[in-house]
Amino acid sequence: MVFTVDIPVRWVDTDALRVVHYSNYFRYVEAAEEELYLSLGFTFKELNERHKIAIPRVEAFCSFKAPARFGDIVTVTLRVDDRTEKTMKYSFKIHRKSDSESLCTGYLKIIGLDLVDWKATALPPDIMDRVEKALE
Amino acid sequence: MVFTVDIPVRWVDTDALRVVHYSNYFRYVEAAEEELYLSLGFTFKELNERHKIAIPRVEAFCSFKAPARFGDIVTVTLRVDDRTEKTMKYSFKIHRKSDSESLCTGYLKIIGLDLVDWKATALPPDIMDRVEKALE
Amino acid sequence: MVFTVDIPVRWVDTDALRVVHYSNYFRYVEAAEEELYLSLGFTFKELNERHKIAIPRVEAFCSFKAPARFGDIVTVTLRVDDRTEKTMKYSFKIHRKSDSESLCTGYLKIIGLDLVDWKATALPPDIMDRVEKALE
Amino acid sequence: MVFTVDIPVRWVDTDALRVVHYSNYFRYVEAAEEELYLSLGFTFKELNERHKIAIPRVEAFCSFKAPARFGDIVTVTLRVDDRTEKTMKYSFKIHRKSDSESLCTGYLKIIGLDLVDWKATALPPDIMDRVEKALE
């Protein structure tokens, strides 16, 4: 199982080459991650406020194959790639919805961060179980 | 007296019309405001943490005359337009540095916000005196 | 008749005050404008490529009343406020979907821009008729 | 030899965790790349318009170690890591200027893109020689 979200390219996402600026693909992936968590019933905010944990990215990688343009809808697909006690690695693919052309692929690795002492900590296992179950 | 800051247009600031996206002029003005405060020896952060005050915008207006493009350096000029106990209104002008062409003009009105109860509050008078003195 | 769009606040839209950065409300309004045009069957891109016209903003104003936060869905409402041969003025309101709290109100004035000589020109009347009819 | 640029963290760059949003480090690196090219006497724009070449990113990677916050100045360091006829790989490091704490490291690989047929093409060797010479 994977999680997919459709995201319309906004005018402001484009640059003077008339394509989406590469940094915005990372933002599309984060939007997909936010929607994933919402679909499972929790948010970054609850992690912060209830669990006193944040989940910053420790690694981000993307390989760009073709550009998205204004007017495109891009589809982001997330999958769990690897999981440890403290980290979760998501692989992602983004394709253009209209013709399924692959635009980019990559991964994000998140880590549990204890907001009291700002040190690495275990990701909440019940939440990550739900994520893993939803994505595998 | 006015406060001026030069800001290089970044590639990511442009859009598919090959000009700076209009929302970014507001960001340039905010960068100038940040540099103004720094030049006077304080930051948003200190206002937040020491004074428990934030200074959100309550009004923003801009009239756009000509576009900036990648490669331009834009000059932001700030001036105090009006001041009350709780608000400060800055007028701004942005021109292209190379040929002095006027790009846009507008204003921002900021308000003191008490971060304990999230209600409007007086702006710290000593700080605003310094700002006003620097800009008039 | 008005046009409304729901937009989820993204984490990246927030700032260190834990609220949406004010410049992003202008981006939410533009997203609504893009969805409006799509719903009527055209895009900025087609205006650019077929009509050789762009529709840059000549004025933007916003009055901010309350902050949106991560986790909120904001609803943008667009209405035609005024129309001339070369300009169209949209008024907008943004409220939080969950409790209908008003977050901000303002307007945008767009102008027809001839992409051949970069001078002001008439907005395509057939397209603007459709917009006006949809919004009034 | 390396190329370094100091960049002040802007308020808008931060997110609700009160740290710089991770996507913005890629934007800081691009700002450094723009300044590098400027220091060598050319711009993305000239590449586009004179050489009919763009230099999109084909790969981007970043490992995040510590967060930057509002008020920080970050120093971006660029180095040429690898060069082929069509690609150039820059490695980058970002540290906080005040205490030299390492914030992140990564790389970007750019490719020559022929703007006539949108296919991969050789990077202009004279320009890349200048870049390589400046960075090694």
Please answer yes or no on whether D64 and A48 come within 8 Å at the CB atom: no
The beta strands (E) that lie in chain C are given as 3-8, 53-54, 57-64, 73-83, 87-96, 102-114, 119-121
Contacts of B48 in chain C (CB under 8 A): 16-17
* H or E element, residue D83: strand D73-83
Extract the tokens encoding A93: 């693919």
The string of pLDDT tens digits covering residues A74-131 is: 999 999 999 999 999 999 999 999 999 999 999 999 999 999 999 999 999 999 999 9
Determine the pLDDT at residue A121: 97
pLDDT-derived band of residue D37, with 50, 70 and 90 as boundaries?
Answer: very high
pLDDT band at residue A33 under the 50/70/90 scheme: very high
B10 reaches D (C-beta below 8 A): yes
The reported pLDDT for the residue numbered C128 is 93
> How big, in percent rounded to 5, are the helix, strand and coil portions of chain D?
25, 40, 30
- What's the pLDDT score for residue C49? 85
Using a cut of 0.90, tell me whether the model's pTM lies above it.
yes
At C51, the pLDDT band (50, 70, 90 cuts) reads: confident
Band of residue A17 on the pLDDT scale cut at 50, 70, 90? very high
Indicate whether B1 pLDDT > 80: no
Cα–Cα dist C97/C95, whole Å: 6
Q: Assess whether pLDDT exceeds 80 at residue C66.
A: yes
pLDDT averaged over every residue in chain D: 95
Q: What is the mean pLDDT of residues C37-58?
A: 89
Counting as contact any 3 or more CB pairs under 8 A, the partners of C are A, B, D
Yes or no: say if D123 and D85 are a contact pair by the CB < 8 Å rule: yes
Alpha helices by DSSP H, D9-109:
23-39, 44-49
Query: With bands split at pLDDT 50, 70 and 90, how would you rate the model's confidence at A8?
Result: very high
Q: For D44-92, write each residue's pLDDT tens digit.
A: 778 888 889 999 999 999 999 999 999 999 999 999 999 999 999 999 9
Substitution target in B15, B23, B25, B26 with the highest count of A β-carbons within 10 Å is B15
Per-residue pLDDT tens digits for C75-130: 999 999 999 999 999 999 999 999 999 999 999 999 999 999 999 999 999 999 99
The ipTM, to two decimals, is 0.95
